[in-house]
Amino acid sequence: MINKRPTFWLTFLVLAAACCLLVVLGATPDVAASSKKTKNPPKPPARVFPDGTPWVPVDQVAALKRAHEPVPPLVMDVLIESPMERQLRLNGKAPSLKDAPYRYMVLDSPILKHKDDPFDDLYGPVRFMHLKHAAEVHDCLVCHHYRPKAEHASETTRCSACHQQPFNPAVPGRLGLKAAYHQKCIECHKKRERGPVDCKGCHEKRVPDHSKLVKLPDHPEPITVTRECLRCHDREATNMLTSAHWLWHGPSPYTVGHEDQFVLGKGTNTINNFCIAVKSNWPRCTSCHAGYGWKDADFDFSDKTRMDCLICHDTTGNYYKAPPAAGMPFPQIDLKPIAEHVGKPSRKTCGDCHFQGGGGDAVKHGDMNSVLYYPTRNCDVHMGGMDFQCHECHKTRNHKISGRSLSVPVAEGSRSCEDCHGDKPHKYHSGKGHEDHNLLNHHLNEHSQHIYCQTCHSPVYAKCKPTKVWWDWSKAGDKKRKAKKDKYGMPDYVWKKGEFRWVESAKPAYAWYNGRVKRVIIGQKVDPARGVIRLTEPVGAIWDRKSRIFPFKIMRGKQMYDPENGYLIVPHLFGPDGYWKTLDWQKSFEIGMQAAGLPYSGQYSWVETAMYWGLNHETMPAENALGCAQCHPALNGEQTCNRCHKDTRHLDFKRLAHRGTDFAAMKAKGRDVGALIGQTDYLNFKALGYKGDPIVYGGRFTTIPLGGSVKAQNTSQ
Amino acid sequence: MELSRRGFFKVMGASGAALAATPGKAKATWKSKAPPDAYGCLVDLGRCIGCRKCELACNKVNGLPEPEKPFDDVTVFNQRRRPDDKAFTVVNRYYTGRTDERNQPKPTFVKVQCMHCQDPACASACITGALHKNENGAVTWNPAKCIGCRYCMVACPFQIPAYEYSNPITPRVRKCTFCFDRISEEGGTPGCAAICPVEAITFGRRSELLKLAHQRIKRDPVNYVQHVYGEKEVGGTSWLYISQVPFEKIDSYNMPTRQIPKLTETIQHTIFSYLWAPITLFGILGGAMWTLNRQQITGKSGPGKEKEDRS
Ligand code: SF4
Ligand code: SF4
Ligand code: SF4
C-alpha cells in the first residue's frame, strides 16, 4: 500500500537520512544498525478464510441481519393485564425456553438510529445473550411484559413491535425502543445485582473520528505522534505508566509466594524456555513493548513520550514495529494517516504481538496464532462466529487489561468464561426434537464444578496452526546441520536456537488447577536432580474443592543452568556480542548474567524444563465440545444413560452420550487428529487421581447413586 | 421556611405597589399570553439515572465549547452546578436521605435548564422584546433585538439566562432554546430528550404531558410526590417535573403560582409611565435579587439547601 503512494521515495529518502543521522549520533547503535537491513513491513492480514473465500463471522452476520430487518408496523393496541391475570389467561401454557428462537442477538435496530443527531454514533450496538437471559430469569414474561391485543400475535412479540420511536402522540406514554431497553435492563440488573448498569458495561464506546483532531506534520517521528496524543490524553498516559503493558511487570496475585508483590514480570525476573529472558536481549524482545526505544536497562519508564499509542490503537492495519528495533516502527511507515485513524484495539493490534510470542507465529501460545485474525467459527466461536475483539472479554479500565495466564505472573484483573456464561452455563434449551437436552444440560452443569469450560470446549489446541512444544538449546550452534521439515512443514532445527518439535491439533495435558501458579523466577534455586524443572505449574489437587480440571499445553525443552550456583542462566543472545553473532556460550552467559545482576560461576550444563501454558482461546462451538462417551468409558458399552435413568420414552440415550467433538470431520478437513477418533477416557481419569471412570468408581466427593450396582448390571447383561 | 422566594416577591410587590400610582388598574388589565398548544417536556426524576447524556446532547446540538471535564466524568456531581453560557443544562446530584436495599444512600438526579415559562418573566422584563415566548412553547432570544441590558437575568425566577462575560465584542444572552429549530421540524425532538436513554425527559404537548404526569404519579403513589412541578408554579411552565423526593429537598424553589410578569410588568409599566430610567428598575430588581442570592449562599433561606454531598 505504501509503495503506491507518490511520496514514497521522498519519504524513504527522508527516513533514510534520519537513520544515518541516528547512526552518526550513535544514539541507538543496535537499533540503527539493524534498521539498515530491515525489510518492508508486512502486509495486514487478509480478511479471508484459510481457503481464500471472504471472511464472514456467521453468527454475527445472522444476528445483525435480524436486527436490521424492516421495522414492523407499530402495535397500537396492547393487552394490559397484571402478571397474575396473564398467568390465569395462559393457564399453564406460558412460553418457555423452548420457544426462544434465538440464542444470540445484536440490539441494533434501525429504530435506534437518527442520522441527523450529532450524538447518534456515541456507542456501538449491544451483544445480547437472549437464551442466557431467558434461562437466568426463567420467565419470558418478565421482559415480554405485555402482548398485543391481536389474537394471532405471539405471546413473546419482539420488543420493537410495540416500542419504536419515542414521544409518539398516537400512543402517549409509550416508551421508545431505546428507553424500553434501558429501563428494563438497568432495572433488572439493579434488582438482581447482576449485569452491568453503566454505559460501557453493555456498549462499546465509539472513538470519535480523529482525522480532524490530530495535528501532525507529514511523516512525523514516533515520539512526535505520542506528544500529539498526549496533548489530549495525558490522563490516559498517566494510567498507562503503571500498566503491565508499559512496565512489563505488575501485580502477581495468583503466583504462590508473590501474591502481594508488584515486581514480577518479564521485564524484571521471569524466565521461560523459549528465548529464556528479556534482560540483555532488550532490542529484540522489546520490539513488542508498547513503547519506543527500550534498548537497555536505562529505559526511562516515567517518560510518557516514549509510549507507543499506535501499537494498540491503530485501526488501519498498516502499523508495524520493526522486529529487532526496541519497539520502533518500520521507518518506511508514514505515521500521520495512522495517527489520524486511531480507535479501539482489535484482534489485529493485540495479535500482532500476542500471536507472535516466542519469535514467530504460534510459537509460544498453544491457543493463539495468526489464524485468529480471521478465524472460522469452528476455530474460535467467539472471534470467528461473533467477531469478538480481544478487549470485549479482556475488559480494560484505566489501561489495565483484565486477564491472567500461567505463562506470565502479571494479572490486572481476571476473566473467566463464567463472567458471561454463568456457573450453570448449559441452558435448558430444548426446542422441538431436543427434549433430551434437558437431561444432558443438567449433567453438564454439574460438571462445571469439577472441570473448567475450556476442558470440553477446547478439546485440542493449536487447532489451526502448529505450535512449538520442544526447544533444545543444547543443540544450537551447528551451522552445518540442515533443518528437516516435519509433517506440518515446520523446521526441526535452527542453528541459532537449537532443536524443535511442533504439534498441531493436539490433545492438551490435563491437570487440577485452582487458579494459583507455582513459578520459578530468575535467580531462584532449582535442582535438576529432582526431575524436570517446572518453570510454571498449576496449583491444584483432586481433593481441593477449588480445583477443577484444566487443559494445558506443556512446553518442554533444555536450557542453560549454572550447577555451581544452582539456578538457571540468562543468556545474552541478541546484539553484536550476543550468542547469535559470536556462537560463544561462555561469553553469552557472562553478559546475560551480568545484566540479570547475578554471579555466573563459569560452569554450565543443560537441564530439562517444562512450562505449563493455559489454553483459553480457540473455543469450539458448543456442538463440537467433547461428548460424554469421549471421556467416560462406562458409556461406551451397551448401557449409557440408562444405567441410572430407566425412563427411555422420547429419549435416545445412545445418541445423547455419543455426541461430541467430531474428530473424523476435523481430520477430513486436514487436521492432525486421526489418533483421537473413537477415543474414550480422553482426560485420563487415573492420571487425574480417580480410581477410574467416576461413573463406575464415583466422583471425587460423591458416589453415583446407583454406583454400586452398575458393575453388576453391566456384567449380567 | 419557604420564605426566601416568596419573601422576594413580597418585597417586589411592595416596591411595585409603592411605585405604582395606579397599581389596581395595571393588575386588572394583565392577561396571560400563554400559547394554547405549547410543547413541553416532562422530566421524571424517578427515571433519571444521572448519565449526563442530556448535557452532552445539548452541547452538541447547540455547538457549545468542549467542557473542562468530559461528559462521562461523574466527579462533577461533587459540586452543585448551574446552567451557564457554556452549558444550557446541567444535571445535579442530591442525597436526600433515601437509601437503597443495601442501605447505601440513593441519589436523586435533577436536570436543570430553562423552564420555558408559559408567561416568562424574562420576556416580559425585556424592554426590546429580544426574548420571546413562541407559539410552540420555546422561549427564545433574538440577538438582533438584544441591547445587552440583562434585565432578563434579573427577572428570571429560576436564574437561567447567562451572559457571555467572556466575550467582550459580541456577548450573547445564552440559555436553553428548547431546541427551537429541532422541534419546529416535523417529528423533531429536543436534543436532550432524544438522547436520554431512559426517557426521563418526555417531549410532547404540554396538555398531554400534564395528563401523563398525573397518571404516573397517581399510579405510583408510594414512590412519587403527588405534585407536578411547573403545572402551577409561576403560572405554569412548559417544562414539568415529577419526583420521588420532595421538591424542596432538591433546590427547586418554592415558586408562587402567580405569573411573575403579572408582577414585574406591573412594576415596569408603572415605572415607565413615570418615565423612570430603566437603571432604576434594574437597581431595584437587582437589589432584591442580590439579597436573595446572599441568603441562598449563606444558607439562610429555608428548604432543601443541602449543600453538603455525602458521596
Ligand atoms: S425559566 Fe427564566 S429564562 Fe426560562 S422562560 Fe422562564 S423566566 Fe425565561
Ligand atoms: S431543549 Fe435543547 S437547548 Fe434545551 S437543554 Fe435540551 S438540548 Fe439543551
Ligand atoms: S440523559 Fe436522561 S437519564 Fe441521563 S442524566 Fe439526562 S435526564 Fe437523566
Q: Give one DSSP letter per residue of A45-92, joined into a string.
A: PPSB-TTSSBP--HHHHHHHHHHTSPPPPPP--EE---HHHHHHHHTT
**Which one of A165, A173, A178 has the shortest CB-CB distance to B197?**
A178
Give the span between the Cα atoms of A659 and A196, in whole angstroms: 35
Provide the b/e sequence for A98-113 (b: ≥16 CB within 10 Å).
eebeebbbbbbbebbe
Question: Atom 6 (ligand 1): residue with closest C-alpha?
Answer: B117
Task: Give yes or no for B232 touching A (CB within 8 A).
Answer: no
| A56-70, A441-455, B260-274: least confident range | B260-274
Among B5, B117, B141, residue to substitute to test ligand 1 (most atoms within 8 Å of Cβ) = B117
Cα B132 to ligand 2 centre (Å):
16
Model ipTM over 0.90: no
Higher pLDDT, B275 or A581: A581
Find the closest chain B residue to A169 by CA distance.
B204
pLDDT tens sequence across B238-258: 999 999 999 999 987 777 777
What's the DSSP call for residue A539? Answer: -
Which of B189, B198, B212 has the CB atom closest to A172's CB atom?
A: B212
Whole-number Å distance between alpha carbons of A566 and A159: 67
Provide the pLDDT for residue A85: 94
**Neighbouring C-alpha atoms within 13 Å toward the C-beta of B255:** 24
Which candidate, B82, B268, B238, B258, places its Cα nearest to that of B159? Answer: B82
Pocket of ligand 2 (CB under 6 A): B 57-58, 61-62, 88-89, 113, 176-179, 190-192
**Helix or strand or coil: residue A504?**
coil
Nearest ligand to residue B109 Cα: 3
The alpha carbon of residue B203 is apart from the nearest alpha carbon of chain A, in Å, by 6
E-strand stretches of B74-230: 90-99, 105-112, 131-133, 139-141, 162-163, 173-174, 201-205
* pLDDT for residue A56 is more than 90: yes
CA A162 – ligand 2 centroid, Å: 27
In the predicted model, residues of chain B with pLDDT beneath 70 are 1-28, 263-311
Asked if residue A37 has pLDDT above 80, the reply is no
pLDDT at B255: 74
pLDDT number for residue A705: 62
Task: Kindly identify which residue of chain B lies nearest to residue A119, measuring between CA atoms.
Answer: B57
Backbone angles phi, psi at B141, to 5 degrees: -115, 135
Mean pLDDT of A606-616: 97
Q: Which residues of B touch A117 (CB under 8 A)?
A: 57, 61, 191, 194-195
Q: Mean pLDDT, to the nearest integer, of A113-130?
A: 89
Nearest CB to A119; choose among B60, B199, B215: B60
- What is the pLDDT, as a whole number, of residue B299? 39
Q: What spacing in Å lies between the alpha carbon of B64 and ligand 1's midpoint?
A: 20
Q: What residues of B are in contact with residue A119 (Cβ under 8 Å)?
A: 53, 56-57, 60-61, 191, 195
The predicted pLDDT at position A36 comes to 45
pLDDT at A663: 95
Residue in B with minimal Cα distance to A192: B101
B127 — contact with chain A (CB < 8 Å)?
no
* Protein residue with least CA distance to atom 3, ligand 2: B176
CA-to-CA distance for B60 and B65, rounded, in angstroms? 9
Q: Place A101 in a pLDDT band, splitting at 50, 70 and 90.
A: confident
C-alpha cell at A525: 534455586
B60 at the A interface (CB within 8 A)? Answer: yes
Tell me the best of B132, B140, B156 to mutate to test the pocket of ligand 1, counting ligand atoms within 8 Å of each CB and taking the most.
Answer: B156
Torsional sign, CA A378, A383, A387, A392: positive
Strand partners, A533: A609
Could B199 and A179 be called an inter-chain contact, meaning their C-beta atoms sit closer than 8 Å? yes
List, for residues A451-464, the tens digit of each pLDDT value.
Answer: 999 999 999 999 98
> Phi and psi dihedrals of A16, rounded to 5?
-60, -45
Question: What does the pLDDT look like over A465-488, one tens digit per residue?
Answer: 999 999 999 999 999 999 999 999
Testing the interface with A: which of B68, B99, B198 to mutate, by most A Cβ within 10 A?
A: B198
Report which ligand 1 atom has the smallest distance to the Cα of B176.
4
Report how far residue B241's alpha carbon sits from residue B225's, in angstroms, rounded to the nearest whole number.
10
Taking residues A569-579, what's their average pLDDT?
A: 96
Between A589 and B291, name the one with better pLDDT. Answer: A589
Q: What is the pLDDT of residue A567?
A: 97
Q: Whose CA is nearest to atom 2 of ligand 2?
A: B179
Protein residue with its CA nearest to atom 7 in ligand 2 = B58
pLDDT in tens, A145-186: 999 999 999 999 999 999 999 999 999 999 999 999 999 999
Are B203 and A178 inside 8 Å of each other by CB?
A: no
Show residues of chain B in contact with A173, CB under 8 Å: 202, 212, 215-216
Q: How confident is the model at residue A110 (pLDDT cuts 50, 70, 90)?
A: very high
What gap in Å lies between CA A717 and CA A693, rounded to an integer? Answer: 20
**How far is the CA of B127 from the CAs of A667, B17, B148, B237, B289, in angstroms?**
88, 20, 11, 22, 19
Which residues in chain B have their CB less than 8 angstroms from residue A123's CB?
A: none
Distance from chain centroid for Cα A90: 45
Q: Which atom of ligand 1 is nearest to the CA of B161?
A: 3
- Rounded distance between C-alpha atoms, residue A611 and residue A184, angstroms: 47
List residues bridging with A536 in a β-sheet.
Answer: A519, A611
Q: Which residue of A has its CA nearest to B198?
A: A179
Q: What is the mean pLDDT of chain B?
A: 81
pLDDT at A438: 75
pTM score, whole prediction: 0.86
Locus of grid cell 554450565: A604
- For residues B15 and B271, give the distance between their C-alpha atoms in angstroms, rounded to a whole number: 11
Contact criterion met (CB below 8 Å) for A274 and A364: yes
What is the least distance, in Å, from the CA of B288 to any CA of chain A?
A: 41
pLDDT band at A635 (very low <50, low <70, confident <90, very high): very high
**Residue B47: its chain A contacts at CB < 8 A?**
183
- In this structure, the dihedral spanned by the alpha carbons of residues A162, A165, A167 and A168, taken in order and rounded to 10 degrees, is -70
Interface check B76 vs A, CB under 8 A: no
Question: Cell 405471539, residue?
Answer: A154
CA distance B268 to B277: 10
Considering chain A, what is the average pLDDT of its residues?
Answer: 90
What is residue A14's predicted lDDT score, i.e. its pLDDT? 42
B205 contact residues in A (CB cutoff 8 A): 169
Question: How many whole angstroms separate alpha carbon B113 and alpha carbon B192?
Answer: 11
Question: Which residues of chain A does B53 touch, with a Cβ-Cβ cutoff of 8 Å?
Answer: 119, 122
pLDDT for position B311: 37
pLDDT exceeds cutoff 50 at A530:
yes
Question: Mean of the pLDDT values across residues A140-146?
Answer: 94
As a whole number, mean pLDDT of residues A103-115 equals 91
User: In chain A, count of helices (H) and strands (E)?
Assistant: 25, 15
Question: Which chain A residues have a beta carbon less than 8 Å from that of B57?
Answer: 117, 119
Q: Which residues of A touch B (CB under 8 A)?
A: 114, 117-119, 122, 165-167, 169, 172-173, 175-176, 178-179, 182-183, 186, 199
Record: contact A119-B196, CB cut-off 8 A: no
Q: Closest ligand to A166 CA? A: 3
Residue A61: all three cell numbers together: 452476520
Q: Is residue B52 within 8 angstroms of chain A, CB to CB?
A: no
Q: What is the mean pLDDT of residues A710-716?
A: 41
User: Averaged over A350-372, what is the pLDDT?
Assistant: 95
- Which chain B residues touch A107 with a CB distance below 8 Å? none
Helix (H, G, I), strand (E, B) or coil at A614: strand
Ligand 2 centre and the CA of A96: distance in Å? Answer: 44
Distance CA A240, CA A207 (A): 18
The three state secondary structure string of A480-536 is CCCCCECCCCCECEECCCEEEEEECCECCEEEEECCCEEECECCCCCCHHHCCEEEE
- Distance (Å, rounded) from C-alpha A111 to C-alpha A123? 15
What integer is the mean pLDDT of A475-503?
96
Rounded to the nearest whole angstrom, what is the distance from the C-alpha of residue B239 to the centroid of ligand 2?
A: 11
Q: Hey, are the CB atoms on B202 and A183 less than 8 Å from each other?
A: no
Predicted pLDDT of residue A168: 95
Given CA atoms B306, B307, B308, B309 in this order, what sign does their dihedral have? positive
Handedness of CA B233, B238, B239, B243 (dihedral sign): positive
